[in-house]
């Protein structure tokens, strides 16, 4: 295989591992293991906890002492073992500990996967900006493929989904060691540990505009975690009223429309940023979350199937217009000396604190609207839609930003 094909396979497997369980595990824990909403939410929140410190710490290891591809391989091998053991567990406490440990080793691999890809492409003389995106999109394809495999084989309510993920983690762990060596830089670093952790970017909080932006990044990060946690569990709850419906039998296929939409909306971001600016693009994202949750609230697998499909489609706008455009905005606003640190801070607020809050608080909301084991999903989704609506109403009044028609050119330069 060519080096580009090898990197394509690496990216495919990286997100196949995650897609095997991220969307369906919530349904398995609620329907099969009978965990409460709060317990499921707390398990998903482990990804936020892990994202607070593990990517930065292992990034330092890969930058200074151990080849990045070896750190990537070790993390996946450890994750494979943890996922395998998790597939045999049926009690909450043990599952929580295992998934926390798994998150601590998986979440850093997302950044390490990018680091290995960049280093290898640069070593072989490729233009990273042109070559990497078509390679990275296969990560999303891998995520979708994993959802389809788990769904079509009927494993959405089974621990087999964790076996699948563990097997692929083992495969990628071994495969990573075959990648070209990504050796640590030999130059002496002048930055401190705090700089490596991204804490020097905290100076951005001194600017009111950036303070407001990062607060909303955290709050929207919480919204993202909600449907990852409870989307499939919601669809499985229709098994009594719509036992023969497509959405009940294949919730993974229906939920995968969200990821397919995501790949399409990425292509529209440059146009919308240039035409409307970051403030309006972010506002579009916030109100897309309102519709994402609201359509779930009025949808069902029968006469309301169209609303569920529309909710999946609008997810692409909600996710991409916040995550991708937000990252570009941070790149534009941060000083050139702290570009990487600022991106780390953005990830900390969204995938770290935001994901932790989303997993924890959404579980509390689900439990509040659960009586005698029966969940009032309409009230649950409308609560989340109301939360997003409040963000959408407040955001334009407190986020002060004047659109510059040169925004995209400035960002790209």
DSSP string, 169-221: HHHHHHHHTTSPP-PPP-SPP-S-HHHHTTGGGGGGGGSHHHHHHHHHHHHHH
Contacts of 390 (CB under 8 A, 6+ apart): none
CATH architecture of the domain with residue range 192-413: Up-down Bundle (1.20)
pLDDT at 404: 63
H helix intervals, 334-404: 339-347, 355-368, 377-398
Q: Greater confidence, 284 or 184?
A: 284
Quote the pLDDT of residue 377: 95
Token pair listed for 249:
């039998």
CATH 1.20.1250.20 matches 1-183: yes
Break the chain into its structural domains and give their ranges: 1-183, 192-413
Residues 38-83: tens digit of each pLDDT: 999 999 999 989 988 888 788 778 877 889 899 999 999 999 999 9
Between 22 and 200, name the one with better pLDDT.
22
> Among candidates 61, 43, 41, which has minimal Cα distance to 53?
61
- Number of CB atoms found within 10 A of residue 350's CB: 26
How confident is the model over 166-180, as a mean pLDDT? 97
Half-sphere exposure of 7 (CA within 13 A, CB side): 26
Phi, psi of 373 (to 5 degrees): 85, -5
pLDDT-based confidence at residue 194 (cuts at 50, 70, 90):
low
Q: CA angle 279-280-284, nearest 5°?
A: 120
Strand partners, 375: 370
Asked if domains 1-183 and 192-413 share a fold, the reply is yes
Give the residues across from 263 on adjacent strands.
Answer: none
Mean pLDDT of 155-182: 97
Do residues 140 and 259 make contact, with C-beta atoms less than 8 angstroms apart? yes
Pairing mode, if any, of strands 374-375 and 370-371?
A: antiparallel
Distance CA 60, CA 115 (A): 12
Neighbours of 374 (CB within 10 A): 9
Of the chain, the percentage scoring pLDDT greater than 90 comes to 53
Sign of the Cα torsion 356, 360, 365, 367 reads positive
Q: How many CA atoms lie within 13 A of 376 on its CB side?
A: 12
Q: What is the mean pLDDT of residues 247-255?
A: 90
pLDDT at position 406:
53
Q: Which of 141 and 348 is assigned the larger pLDDT?
A: 141
Give me the pLDDT at residue 110, please: 87
Tell whether the model's pLDDT for residue 318 goes beyond 60. yes
What is the C-alpha separation between 211 and 214, in angstroms, rounded? 5
Return left, alpha or beta for 376; rule: phi > 0 is left, psi -120 to 50 is alpha, else beta. Answer: beta
Q: At what angle do helices 128-152 and 160-176 cross, to 10 degrees?
A: 150
Determine the Cα–Cα distance for residues 189 and 344; give it in Å rounded to an integer.
18
Q: Reduced to 3 states, what is the DSSP secondary structure of residue 166?
A: helix
Average of per-residue pLDDT values in the chain:
87
What pLDDT sits at residue 135? Answer: 86
167-176, 181-190, 318-327, 372-381 — which is least confidently predicted?
Answer: 181-190
For residue 191, what pLDDT is reported? 53
CA 281 to chain centre: 20
Backbone angles phi, psi at 127, to 5 degrees: -80, 110
**pLDDT score for 307:** 97
CA distance 258 to 94: 31
Residue 265 confidence class, pLDDT cut points 50, 70, 90: confident
Give the chain's length: 413
């Amino acid at each position: 295989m060519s080096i580009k094909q090898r990197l394509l396979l690496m990216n495919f497997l990286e997100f196949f591992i995650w897609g095997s369980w991220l969307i369906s595990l919530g349904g398995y824990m609620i329907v099969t293991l009978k965990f409460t909403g709060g317990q499921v939410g707390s398990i998903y929140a482990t990804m936020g906890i892990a994202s607070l410190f593990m990517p930065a710490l292992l990034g330092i290891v890969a930058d200074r002492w151990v080849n990045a591809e070896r750190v990537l391989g070790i993390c996946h091998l450890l994750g494979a073992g943890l996922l395998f053991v998790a597939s045999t567990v049926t009690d909450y406490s043990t599952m929580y500990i295992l998934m926390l440990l798994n998150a601590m080793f998986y979440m850093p691999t997302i950044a390490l996967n990018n680091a290995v890809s960049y280093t290898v492409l640069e070593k072989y003389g490729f233009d990273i900006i042109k070559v990497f995106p078509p390679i990275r999109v296969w990560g999303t394809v891998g995520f979708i493929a994993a959802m389809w495999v788990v769904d079509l084989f009927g494993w959405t309510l089974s621990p087999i989904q964790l076996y699948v993920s563990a097997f692929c983690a083992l495969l990628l762990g071994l495969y990573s060691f075959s990648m070209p060596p990504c050796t640590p830089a030999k130059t002496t670093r002048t930055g401190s540990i705090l700089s490596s952790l991204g804490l020097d970017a905290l100076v951005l909080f001194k600017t009111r505009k950036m303070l407001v932006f990062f607060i909303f990044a955290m709050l929207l990060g919480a919204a993202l975690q909600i449907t990852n946690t409870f989307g499939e569990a919601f669809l499985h709850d229709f098994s009594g009223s719509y036992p023969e419906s497509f959405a009940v039998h294949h919730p993974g296929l229906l939920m995968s429309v969200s990821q397919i939409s995501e790949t399409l909306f990425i292509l529209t971001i440059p146009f919308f940023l240039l035409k409307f600016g970051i403030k309006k693009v972010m506002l579009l994202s916030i109100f897309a979350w309102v519709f994402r949750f609201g359509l779930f609230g009025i949808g069902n697998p029968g006469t309301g199937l169209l609303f569920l499909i529309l909710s999946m489609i609008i997810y692409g706008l909600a996710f991409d217009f916040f995550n991708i455009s937000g990252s570009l905005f941070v790149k534009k606003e941060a000083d050139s000396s702290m570009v990487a640190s600022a991106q780390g801070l953005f990830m900390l607020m969204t995938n770290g604190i935001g994901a932790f809050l989303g997993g924890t608080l959404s579980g509390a909301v689900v439990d509040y609207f659960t009586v005698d084991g029966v969940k009032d999903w309409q009230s649950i989704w409308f609560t989340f839609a109301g939360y997003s609506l409040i963000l959408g109403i407040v955001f334009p009044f407190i986020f002060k930003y004047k659109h510059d028609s040169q925004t995209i050119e400035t960002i790209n330069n």
